[in-house]
Structure 1
Amino acid sequence: MANLCSLNQWRMRRGFNTFVFRPHAGEAGDTEHLSAAFLTAQSINHGILLRKVPALQYLYYMQQIGLAMSPLSNNALFLVYERSPFNTYFQRGLNVALSTDDPLQFHFTKEPLMEEYSIAAQIWKFSSVDMCELAMNSVLQSGFEAEVKRHWIGRDYLETGQTEVHKTNVPLCRLKYRASTLEQEHAVLARMTSCGSDSLEQGSVA
């Protein structure tokens, strides 16, 4: 990770694009891998084990760390569609997107990502707006340069956090709902943190 940070700093100074640290985490194994990824990664692949650690899942939500998930391969190896947390994550506002995993092994066409979208739409009855939001999240999580992302989702997405409706087909009301809900959660945490620090100060004075 230290080497990647140094390389990214070197590339940034020269105007090059930087590499995104997106480890394979939370598909199987110990949930401590997800804790380490939370501290170091900009996004991860999979993350289905977050369903077992609600507190950690909440942290991923608060920081909007990307989860590039592959329900089709998960269904074949670890978790059937009925138990997949993908839809739950999406409804709760986590930054989820669809991705492929080992397409030569688990997919049957030349468009493996389309298979993931098709299956998600059928299994969880996603609307066209839901599908567009997932596609928008894919762009946000990607390692493309900011200029490329501006072209696809909106000129001011970095400054305002809002994308352009005519480019993403995600209604403004949904974007505002996602943003306001996250903002309220941050406000609650800030208030609780402030109350806790006040209590500590009073205790030290006493």
Structure 2
Amino acid sequence: MREDAVASFAESTGFTKVRDTPAGEGPGAMREIVWEISPELYFCYGLDEDTRTAFLMTRGVSADAVTEMAELVGQYFDALSCQDLLDELDRARESADRARALERLGLGASLEYREQVVRAISATLTAEPEIQRAAIRGALLALWRDFLPPLDRVSQQADAEDVRQRAQWVAGYIRENSVES
């Protein structure tokens, strides 16, 4: 999905742009635009620069309002659901495809599928280093504290030094930045 199509949709529906953040430099660089739909309900467009994956997200206080808007936006843009992303990971056989699927799953992680997402990403943290790196990035993108125990294990037990360091850094980042208690 293209940024201009999302912006056109948001503007035509009367959403108010409240933030427009250009992508930063380096790993984890994200482009993000946020529109306010109503007080305490927001629509977001993002572009993960590493994977070149665009995503849409709704955020807000009311779970019902967020779900309703997410379904509407998903239908309008024919967006992939979290279940679609889980299926994509199940179908991926080549390492490069599995790595991309893991990162996309972390990016598209939905609370409705939290248990399945945590299980799928955590299960790959013991794979070869390329897959471990992608699983660690998927955990970072989901930003859930559920990933802390498996990340802590990887930071102590992975064969590759860079994988151990990455897991340690991501676990620390989640501890500091996850909005969960």
TM above 0.5, yes or no, is: no
Higher-Rg structure is: 1
- Per the normalisation by structure 2, the TM-score is 0.31
Q: Greater strand percent: which structure?
A: 2
Q: Greater helix percent: which structure?
A: 1
